[in-house]
Amino acid sequence: MTRVEHLRNLALLGACAVALAILPHALTVYLRSFVLFTMMYVVLALSWNIISGFTGYTSFGHVAFYGIGAYACAILVADYRWHWLPTLGVGAVLAAVVGVAIGYPVLRLKGPYFAIAMLGAAEGTRVVATVWDGLTHGGLGISLPSAETSLETYYAMLVLMLLTVVVAYGVGHSRFGVRLNAIREDEVAAEALGINATLYKLTAFTLSAVFPAVAGGIQAYKVLYIDPPSVFFVQITIAMALMSMLGGKGTVIGPIVGAILLYTAQELTWVNFPTAHLIAYGLFIVLVARFMPRGLMGFAIDRGWVRKGMVH
């Protein structure tokens, strides 16, 4: 990509940022929430993509980091009376630490074993949150005192999203990203070329852990009540994976497009068809995975509409 193209993309991002910054003042609270959650899923999908799309290690338990961030915020705000913003930092650091701790042993596993191990890790974190009563109130859940007007969390999420996009873009268009792709394509050959696969994998994994944690924290402060089943919900990981896959795993714009489209479609269907919507969702997942595993971006690249970057 040329310098001009990079600048153009940056300008585009800036324009979106400005538009999104003005938007909430024109919307009702409900729609504000809707945009907030859409942005959150963009963050989640992009983060998941870093480890699973670029690096090829399909994580089936990424919601663990989201939950960690949510609990960090909830515990510190509800029990220790912190202001919510610093708790996001704590959540991020915690997720990074846990990411390294889990990642180091687990990234040694291959393909399906890594996926199952991450699923086990996420479920295990949920059980720990349920059982460690003293810290997390267990099954009772945590209720947070309310102080915000819904604008604060919106802007926080906006900033987070912009940050994530910039980072994902940076990874996708840098040597770091190329090396991650090399690892995905053939790890042994990459090592033979001198790439320290362990270091790169771990970095990607940790990076992908931090943003969901912050998102989880913001969400906790928005929704004001969390309990283990809701923040360690396996369907959140599925959503991350599906959105990336729908948009195009391994690209930068793919997860963004996938997240926006899927979340909006879900919300529209849910509002209008409450019972059938879940069956439709299940079918949708099946169809996308079966017929469009390379996603919309893959489709567009095949048609020559978009130039191939580092797509799967």
Partner 1 sequence: MKTAAILAFAGALAALLGLGVGTGWAGHRPNNEVLVGGAISQTGQYAEPAGRQVYSIKLWVDEVNARGGLLGHTIVLRLLDDKSDIQTSIKLYEKLITEDKVDLLLAPYSSGITEAVANVNERYKMPFVAYGAASTPIWEKGRRYIFNIVAVAEDYQKGAVHLARQIGVKKAAIIGQDSLFPRQAGKGAKDWCKKLGIDVVLEENYPTKQTDFTALLQKIKAADAEAVFSNSYFADSAAQLRQMRELNLNFKLYSSTIGPSLPNFPEQLGATAEYVLGFSQWEPLPKVLGHPGMQEYIERYEKRFGEKPNYHAGGAYGALQVTEAALKKVGSFDNEKLRDALATMEVQTIYGRYKVDARGMNSHEGLTFQVLRGQRRVVWPEKWAETKAELPTPEWSKR
Partner 2 sequence: MERSDVRSLYLLAAFLVCAYAMPFLVGAWAGTVRLDERWLGNLATVVVGGIMQGGVYAMFALGLTLIFGVMRIINAAHGEMVMMGAYLTWVAFFYLGVDPLLSIVLTLPIAFVFGVAVQKLLLDAAVGAPELTGLLITFGLGLTLIYTAELIFTTDFRTIPYAPGTVQLTSAIAVGQNRVISFVLAVAISTAVYLFLKLSRLGKAVRATALNAEVAMVCGIDVRRIYLITTGLAAALAVAGGALVSIQFGFNPETGVVYTLQAFAIIVLGGRGHYVGALIGGLMLAVLENLVSLMVPNGTAMVELAAYGLMISVLLIRPGGLMGVKEG
Q: Which residues bind partner 1 (CB under 8 A)?
A: 8-9, 12, 16, 27-31, 33-35, 38, 127, 130, 138-141, 143-144, 146, 223-225, 227, 229-230, 252-253, 256-257, 260-261, 264-265, 267-268, 271-272, 274-275, 296-297, 300, 305-306, 309
Rule CB under 8 A: choose which of 281, 295, 297, 311 binds partner 2: 281
Instruction: List Cα–Cα distances, 274 to 162, 268, 269, in angstroms.
Output: 32, 10, 7
For partner 1, the closer of residues 26 and 192 by Cβ is 26
For partner 1, the closer of residues 141 and 198 by Cβ is 141
DSSP 47-63: HHHIIIIIS----S-TH
Count CB atoms within 10 A of the CB of residue 199.
Answer: 10
Q: What angle do CA 89, 93, 99 make, to 5 degrees?
A: 140
Contacted entry of partner 1, partner 2, none for residue 95, CB cut-off 5 to 8 Å set by kind: none
Please list the residues that pair with 142 across neighbouring strands: 226
81 dihedral zone (left: phi>0; alpha: psi -120 to 50; beta): left
Please list the residues that pair with 143 across neighbouring strands: 225
CB 257 within 8 A of CB 41: no
290 is a contact residue toward partner 2 (CB under 8 A): yes
Segments in 23-110 forming alpha helices (H): 29-49, 63-80, 84-106
For partner 1, the closer of residues 210 and 256 by Cβ is 256
- Give the nearest distance from C-beta 1 to partner 2 in angstroms: 26
Contacted entry of partner 2, partner 1, none for residue 308, CB cut-off 5 to 8 Å set by kind: none
Would you tell me which residues interact with partner 2 (CB under 8 A)? 52, 56, 58, 60, 105-106, 108-113, 115-117, 119-121, 123-124, 127-128, 130-131, 238, 241-242, 245, 249, 275, 278-279, 281-291, 293
